[in-house]
Amino acid sequence: MLKKHKTLGEFIIENQSAFQYTSGELSKLINAIRLAAKVVNHEVNKAGLVDILGAAGDTNIQGENQQKLDVMANEKFIQTLKNREIVCGIASEEEDDFITINSSDDNHQNKYVVLIDPLDGSSNIDVNVSVGTIFSIYRRITPVGTPVELKDFLQKGREQVAAGYIVYGTSTMLVYSTGAGVNGFTLNPALGTFYLSHPDMEFPESGKIYSVNEGNYVHFLQGVKDYIKYCQEEEGDRPYTSRYIGSLVSDFHRNMIKGGIYMYPKSNIAENGKLRLLYECNPMAYLAEQANGLASDGFGRILDIEPTELHQRVPFFCGSKNMVKKLHECIAKHA
Ligand code: AHM
Ligand code: MG
C-alpha cells in the first residue's frame, strides 16, 4: 500500500535541482534532520516506559525548567548535525549561545546555519500530548572559511532557505519547505521511513478554529479581545470552534489542515508574548506563507522583523489569510 507513496529520501533527491543553490548541501542537511527526527521520535514514544520523564534539574536561558526529553532532543539534534559536518553553526532554544561547528578538515567551509527548538510544547511531555521539533535554516552571511558570527543567526525570517517541523503526534510527521510549497511526510514506524502523505499543504483561505490561551484573556490588548469576541459571536459561520493544545506545532498543523488561526498575543504581563522569534515564530511564519497563510505580530509581517538577540520574543498570530486579516482590523481599531 505504501509503495505508491514517495519516500522522503526520494523526494529530497527529486527536488534538489529545483532549489536555487544546488550544491546538494541543503539536501544533506534535511537528511540529517530526518535522521535526528527518527531518533528523537523513538525516545519520545517510549517516554512513558522508562525513567526519562520529569525535570532535568536545569533551567534554560529563559529560566524555565528543562525536561529531560528537552535535553535529550537538544543533544540528538546537535550531535547529528555536528557528526554530519554539514552546518557551520547551530543555535538552539535550549542553549544560551550559538555553537560554532568546524570539523578538522573543512576549515569552516559549510554554508548553512540551523536554528532549532528541539522539543516544543514541553509542558505536554508528561501528559502524553503531542510535542514537536521546529527548525529553521539560513545561508551564512559571513564569508566561508571564517567562524560563524552572531549576525549569521540574526537574519530576518524572510532570508530563510528552508524551515520545518516534526510533530510527534498520533503519528509522527515531518513537514517542511525549501521555498516551493509545503510538503508533509508521515513516518511508518515499522520501517523507519517517512512517506509523502500530505503533498502541497495549504491553509484554507478561511477557517473556523481559533487557538489561544484564553486563560490570559484579561491581560490581552483590546483589539485581540475584540477579535476573540468576534470569533464567539453568533453570525454567519460563527461562532468558531476553540481548540488549544498548548503545543504550537500541533496547533499549527491542525489549523493548516482544517483552517484556523493561532494566537500568542502580548499581554499586560508578558510584553512581547511568549514565543521566540528565531526558534518558533520565523520558521512557522515561513511555512505559513509557503502554505498560503499569513503570520504577523499583530501589526506587520513576522518575516520582516529585524532580530536583535537570539532569544527574542514576539507576539505571534498565524493562520488562514482571512482570519489574520480580520484580526488586524480589530487591532488597528485600537492602535
Ligand atoms: P516551550 O518552548 O517552552 O515549549 O513553549 C512554547 C509553547 C508553545 O508550543 C505553545 O503554543 C505555548 O508555549 C503554550 O504556552 P501557554 O501554556 O502559555 O499557553
Ligand atoms: Mg519552544
Give the pLDDT band of residue 66 (cuts 50, 70, 90): low
**Alpha carbon distance 203, 300 (integer Å):** 19
SS3 state of residue 127: helix
Q: What's the 235 CA to ligand 2 centre distance in angstroms?
A: 35
Residue 123 CB partners (closer than 8 Å, separation 6+): 246
Pocket (CB within 6 angstroms of ligand 1): 64, 117, 120-122, 213, 246-248, 274
Nearest protein CA to atom 17 of ligand 1, as residue: 246
Comparing CA positions, the residue from 173, 176, 178 lying closest to residue 189 is 173
**What's the pLDDT score for residue 30?**
92
Q: Is the pLDDT of residue 68 over 70?
A: yes
CB 104 within 8 A of CB 111: no
pLDDT tens, residue by residue, 225-258: 999 999 999 999 999 999 999 999 999 999 999 9
Q: Which three cell numbers stand for residue 83?
A: 557528526
Whose CA is closest to 67, among 115, 117, 126, 116? 126
Taking the centre of ligand 2 as the mean of its atom positions, its distance from the CA of residue 281, in whole angstroms, is: 10
Q: What span, in angstroms and rounded, lies between the C-alpha atoms of 100 and 150?
A: 10
Could you tell which of 248, 250, 314 is best to mutate to test the pocket of ligand 1, judged by most ligand atoms within 8 Å of the CB? Answer: 248
Burial 231-245 (b: 16+ CB within 10 A, else e): beeeeeeeebeebbb
pLDDT for 225:
98
- What pLDDT sits at residue 67? 62
pLDDT value of residue 102: 78
Ligand 1: residue whose CA is nearest its atom 7: 121
Residue 254: CB atoms within 10 A of its CB come to 21
- Give the pLDDT band (50/70/90) at residue 21: low
DSSP conformational letter for 155? -
327 pLDDT tier (thresholds 50, 70, 90): very high
Nearest atom in ligand 1 to the alpha carbon of residue 122 is 4
User: Which H or E run includes 30?
Assistant: helix 25-45
How far apart, in whole angstroms, are the C-alpha atoms of residue 139 and residue 26?
Answer: 10
Segment among 42-51, 190-199, 284-293, 317-326 with least mean pLDDT: 42-51
Residue 151: the pLDDT is: 98
Q: What is the DSSP string of 207-250?
A: -SEEE--GGGGGGB-HHHHHHHHHHHS-STTPSPEE---S-HHH
CA contacts within 13 A on the Cβ side of 195: 13
- Mutation probe of ligand 1 site: the residue of 127, 272, 274, 275 with most atoms within 8 A of C-beta: 274
The residue-averaged pLDDT of 101-109 equals 71
**Per-residue pLDDT, 25:** 85
Please report how many Cα atoms fall inside a 13 Å half-sphere around the Cα of residue 227, on the Cβ side. 29
* Mean pLDDT over each residue of the chain, to the nearest integer: 91
Side chain identity, residue 192: G
Q: Whose CA is nearest to atom 18 of ligand 1?
A: 213
Give distance in angstroms: CA of 248 to centre of ligand 1: 7
Residue 3 — pLDDT band, cuts 50, 70, 90?
low
Ligand positioned closest to the Cα atom of 264? 1
Give the CATH number of domain 209-332; options: 3.40.50.300, 3.40.190.80, 3.20.20.100, 3.50.50.60. 3.40.190.80
Quote the CATH superfamily of domain 2-201: Fructose-1,6-Bisphosphatase, subunit A, domain 1 (3.30.540.10)
Q: What is the pLDDT of residue 128?
A: 85
The minimum-distance atom of ligand 1 relative to the CA of 215 is 19
State whether residue 90 is helix, strand or coil. strand
Whole-number Å distance between alpha carbons of 272 and 68 = 27
Beta strands of the chain (E only): which ranges?
A: 55-59, 65-67, 87-92, 99-100, 112-120, 131-139, 162-168, 172-177, 183-188, 193-198, 209-211, 241-242, 260-264, 293-296, 316-320
Residue 87: how many CA atoms within 13 Å on its side-chain side? 30
Quick one: average pLDDT of 160-182? 96
CA 148, CA 141: separation in Å to the nearest integer?
A: 9
* pLDDT for the residue numbered 197: 97
pTM across the whole model = 0.94
Q: Which ligand is nearest to the CA of 278?
A: 2
Q: Which of 59, 66, 120, 131 to mutate to test the pocket of ligand 1 (most atoms within 8 A of CB)?
A: 120
- Cα–Cα distance, 55 to 73 (Å, whole number): 14
Ranking 23-32, 70-79, 147-156, 255-264 by mean pLDDT, the lowest is 23-32
C-alpha cell at 168: 510527534
Domain ranges across the chain: 2-201, 209-332
Task: Give the mean model confidence (pLDDT) for residues 330-335.
Answer: 93
pLDDT above 90 as % of the chain = 75
Nearest CA to ligand 1 atom 11: 248
Nearest ligand 1 atom to alpha carbon 132: 9
Residue 264 Cα: closest atom of ligand 1 = 11
Instruction: Provide mean pLDDT across the span 75-90.
Output: 92
**Alpha carbon distance 25, 84 (integer Å):** 11
From the CA of 274, how far away is ligand 2's center (Å)? 9
**Which ligand lies nearest to the CA atom of residue 248 in the structure?**
1
Q: What is the mean pLDDT of residues 304-330?
A: 98
* pLDDT exceeds 80 at position 19: no
